[in-house]
A and B are shown apart, each in its own frame.
Chain A
Amino acid sequence: MARSVVERIATIAPARWMLLGHSMGGKIATVVAARTLRGETPLFGLAGVVLVASSPPSPEPMDEGRRLAMQGWAGAGAVSELHARSFVLADLADSDAADHDALPRPELDRATDDVHRANPEAWRAWLDRGSQEDWSVAVSGSDFKSPLPVPALILAGAADGDLDADAQRRLTAPHFAHAEVREIADAAHLIPIEQPAALAAEVRRFWRERAGLGPTVPSDFGRVLASARTTSRTRAALAARALADDPDYAPTVLDTEQLGRLRLLADHLVPQPGPAIDLAARVDAQLATGVGDGWRPADAPSDPEAYRRGLDALADWARIPDADARGEALDRLGDGDLEAWLEDAAVDLARQWLAHPATMALIGFDGVATGGDTGRQSGFAELRADRAESWEPLPDPAVSSPGVQPPGITNGASRSTTEAEA
């Protein structure tokens, strides 16, 4: 099932996308997300995961009697309309009321009909195996050791029996490093038909305030990263870096004020065009790993300490209200130790900026896509100035200097000027 989802997304190949899965679909979405973040799918651009009344990666908690009964419904062919109706009603909030007023009649009929039409083998397979399979370790390692870095919105119906918000916090959320569990009122398990407007609003908010932040990797560049020209390990690293920064990032090495100053400083040292990457947060996270760049000035303290001291020394500077005045003041600081540290900070921030695949696309660098996991490496066949190969993503015309022609035609692949300008 995960494979067919992957194939479907691959044919659409959107630039930046979220996976949304309901119930059993949530389990599949989680597995697809895990594989994609490990670079194992030919996909790029995953920005978020929305799990709606999701079945967790571990076996779904389910009353054994009910499971057996439901298996029985499809023992000799399709689930009867009667059973289908009772199944749907059981998944709704306030299901006692036969004429359930929270769900209009046509929706109820359609849901019933969907269950009735379900392939009985698939119905049984989910109950026998799919719901019982344990994908926990495949998703996030043993004991949730490597939670998925993708932002996740986990929605639970307030009246969902086995999979309420508490259960989701226990069973699903730990698989994600950044999970937000929210409860949907007046809904049980069938949130998409019970509370479609509330669901849509939640998804939109999640995209706007969390998953969709920061720069987007253009789709033609993403397609190259998703292709067999890029190794899975490289793809995995780039996929993680392409994820939106957490707006509520809590620094590890710096304190909140120092982080704020580093953000301000980043605007001066590495001023980004367009939607910004939180370079300061990324540098803090890098400092927290303890891996530096192999050296430091002889009289300087360790990198984390140098950052703390440098940023403390910039406390007054950071209070200058006007950005231009701040920029000029920064150029006049002139003190030896602080200058040396500013150079380090500029390097660290610039490296984080360039490590983001959207920046690679922006400056027109596709040299990470020089060969896949197996077989001969592809490298570059065309090395001449003003020439590109047919697989290469188009340069951002805004970056190319005036007067520069778009790449010529090589390798028999045609690429017209109008395409390049489009």
Chain B
Amino acid sequence: MRLDHQRTYSDDEIADVVVVGTGAGGAPLLASLAAHGLRVVALEAGDNTEPRDHTPDEMLAAQQINWMDDRLSGGADATAFGPNNSGRGVGGSMLHWGAFAPRPDARDLRLRGESGVGRDWPIAHAELTRWIEQVERFVGISGPERYPWDPSRRYEMPPVARNASSTAMLRGAEALGITATDGPVAVATRDRDQEHWGLRHACVNAGTCHQGCRTGAKVTMDTSYLPLAVARGAEIRAGAMVVDIETDARGRVSAVVYRRDGELRRQRTAALVLAAGGVETPRLLLHTGLANGSGQVGRNFLAHGATQVWGRYDEDMRAYRGYPSSIITEDLLRPSDADFAGGYLIQSLGVQPQTLATTLARGGGLRGAELMRWMRDYRHLAGVGINAECLPGDDNRLTLSDEIAADGLPRVRVDFSAGENEKRLRAHAIRTMVALVEAAGARETIVLDRTAHTIGTARMGSDPGDSVVDAEGRSWEVPNLWICDNSVFPSALAANPALTIMALSLRTADALRRSAGR
């Protein structure tokens, strides 16, 4: 995005707010604060890009827009980082997100009240929905005319084009009596003028959303909230990696220390928002020892179950064409025969070859002749995958290792093992998906295990004793420190997270602004 004409602040000026990270959590808040006249500076570790800088080539794309510095992954179901869940750049993980944008289900926000496990959200569903609608209006979402699980809902644009994997999922679902339809997708299906950025071209079905969208069709922060923020006077400093947080005698944040062009600098500020994502935010907090009186920083690490089932069809599916995950079903959010709490969404799947091979090897244990057989049948594959609830576990947490990474901070270690609830849910989901894919006409199926997203490591709550921030995202201990990204989620929710993160971002901005008297 254009940053050459932006307003700039000097390190010695005391910014009203410094925001660390420009992804789903940082960008809407930055725009909202700037629009209300606050003097805001965003520090972003990654580079600034234009949509046309992206390439469909998986290998180049991974190096350009992902967080590729090693994280250490432990536990029985070690999480894959890098291209699997971590972005880096002006726009954060939204540069490579899949743009699947379901709203969270009301029952998921009250999971504990309903089932006695997990956590309830300290926010009412109706209020969250109002913020979500505000995000949807600003960025533009496409979806079906009538949403079966919420008939009152309206989407601005018609659904994305269905590909061969979409029609296969619809066929299978119909045979099983499962309701499935075009999903809510954060992709412009018509040319759309985006205020302060320009014309976002309608989706051309390139299928490379995870490599970065070159048309501007996909909602990203660098084509929506960030240009708005800059137009309202915010500064975005790209290539600025925050490595330390300074506090004054009263324990309030006074400045952040960041590295840019190899040089350590200090930006003074009256308030700090951490929006560095579910891994880097707790890493900074653990490293500085801030805001962790509850001992909850790094705990409650949650990863959505994201198991996939692929089918081999006689037809030439070539499901890499088109938006990859256009079909949704919410029928399995509370299956009647469930022996677990919570539920899951199913989406249709197309995939790029390197991503598929990686998942076949890691999630399917394939190698050698079998790996080659599936890859040579690439044209004939189409899949479905879930996004599933995940409950906190005592051993599932993020800690700092003894090893120092290139950025000078200790490397994180994330331990994750699926608990009993995740295992039962997964078994149910596999049964459903295999039946669906077979009913769609696949000759052969394969189950690929995977988890997605980095959630819950600085959770919000109403009890300072067992949460890191309050319901508005403000630290219980450091009154001018706020957190606004995937780490504040009290529970995972079955819905994919980004839409909710953006909504919380606007909500936290509103609270911060009011606390600052604006």
Contacts and interface: CB of A to CB of B under 8 A. Distances in A.
Contacts of B371: 269-270, 346, 350
Interface in A282-311: 291-299, 302-303
Contact of B206 (A271, A365, A379): A379
Contact of B70 (A295, A362, A371, A400): A295
B315 A380 contact: no
Interface string B193-220: 0000000010111111000001100000
B115 interface: no
B59 A237 contact: yes
Interface in B211-269: 214-215
Interface in A190-241: 231, 233-234, 237-238
A contact patch SS: loop
A360 interface: yes
B361 interface: yes
A363 B161 contact: no
Given A271-B368, A383-B163, A355 B321 contact: no
Contacts of A377: 201, 204, 206, 214-215
B59 A367 contact: no
Interface residues of B, number: 74
Contacts of A382: 321
Nearest to B163: A383
A17 B376 CA distance: 27
A385 interface: yes
Contact of B353 (A365, A385, A404, A405): A365
Contacts of A362: 376
Contact of B379 (A233, A294, A395): A395
Contacts of A384: 163-164, 167
Interface in B333-376: 352-354, 357-358, 361-362, 365, 367-369, 371-372, 375-376
Interface stretch (B7-15, B72-80, B489-497): B72-80
B73 A295 contact: yes
A343 interface: yes
B208 A363 contact: no
Contacts of A271: 368-369, 372
B377 A401 contact: yes
A286 to B, nearest CB: 9
B357 to A, nearest CB: 4
Interface in B132-164: 161-164
A363 B379 contact: yes
A132 interface: no
A60 B321 CA distance: 51
Nearest to A382: B321
Contacts of B214: 370-371, 377
A234 B52 CA distance: 12
A185 interface: no
Contacts of A395: 316, 379
A294 B82 contact: yes
Interface residues of A, number: 62
A195 to B, nearest CB: 43
B164 A364 contact: no
Contacts of B192: none
A295 B68 CA distance: 7
A86 interface: no
A385 B72 contact: no
Interface string A314-356: 0000000000000100000000000000110011001101110
A403 interface: yes
Contacts of A371: 204, 206, 214-215
A343 B362 contact: yes
A404 B86 CA distance: 39
Contacts of B50: none
A417 to B, nearest CB: 14
Interface string A242-283: 000000000000000000000000001111110000000000
Contacts of B367: 268-270, 342-343, 346
Interface string A372-387: 0100111111111110
A385 B167 contact: yes
Contacts of B207: 367, 370, 379-380
Given A297-B73, A383-B163, A291 B63 contact: yes
Nearest to B75: A298
B56 A385 contact: no
A270 B376 CA distance: 12
A76 interface: no
B378 interface: yes
- Most chain B Cβ neighbours within 10 Å, of A237, A302, A350, A388: A350
B324 to A, nearest CB: 11
B421 interface: no
Given A237-B55, A270-B371, A363-B378, A298 B73 contact: yes
A299 B413 CA distance: 10
A147 interface: no
A298 B74 contact: yes
A1 interface: no
Given A376-B201, A403-B314, A269 B368 contact: yes
Interface in A101-139: none
Contacts of A24: none
B466 interface: no
A347 B72 contact: no
Contacts of A295: 70-73, 79-82
A181 interface: no
A302 B71 CA distance: 11
A363 B82 contact: no
In this complex, the member of A302, A351, A379 whose beta carbon has the largest number of chain B beta carbons within 10 angstroms is A379
Contacts of A233: 55, 60
A174 interface: no
A409 to B, nearest CB: 14
A78 interface: no
B68 A293 contact: yes
B114 interface: no
B56 A407 contact: no
Contacts of B52: 373
Contacts of B473: none
A191 B204 CA distance: 53
B355 to A, nearest CB: 9
Contacts of A98: none
Nearest to B73: A295
B369 to A, nearest CB: 6
B201 A383 contact: no
B314 A298 contact: no
Contacts of B66: 294
Interface in B309-333: 312-318, 320-322
A351 B67 CA distance: 18
A82 interface: no
Contacts of A297: 72-74, 78
B57 A238 contact: yes
A399 interface: yes
A364 B379 contact: yes
Contacts of B372: 270-273
Given A293-B83, A365-B379, 5 more contacts: A269-B367, A270-B367, A354-B375, A363-B353, A368-B56
11 contacts: A237-B60, A268-B368, A293-B80, A298-B401, A347-B358, A355-B59, A365-B320, A365-B352, A371-B204, A385-B317, A405-B316
Shortest 4 CB-CB distances between A and B: which pairs? A294-B82, A379-B204, A298-B74, A295-B81
Interface of B: 52, 55-60, 62-63, 66-75, 78-84, 86, 161-164, 167-168, 201, 203-208, 214-215, 312-318, 320-322, 352-354, 357-358, 361-362, 365, 367-369, 371-372, 375-380, 401, 413, 415
Interface of A: 231, 233-234, 237-238, 268-273, 291-299, 302-303, 327, 342-343, 346-347, 350-351, 353-355, 360, 362-365, 367-368, 370-371, 373, 376-386, 388, 395, 399-401, 403-405, 407
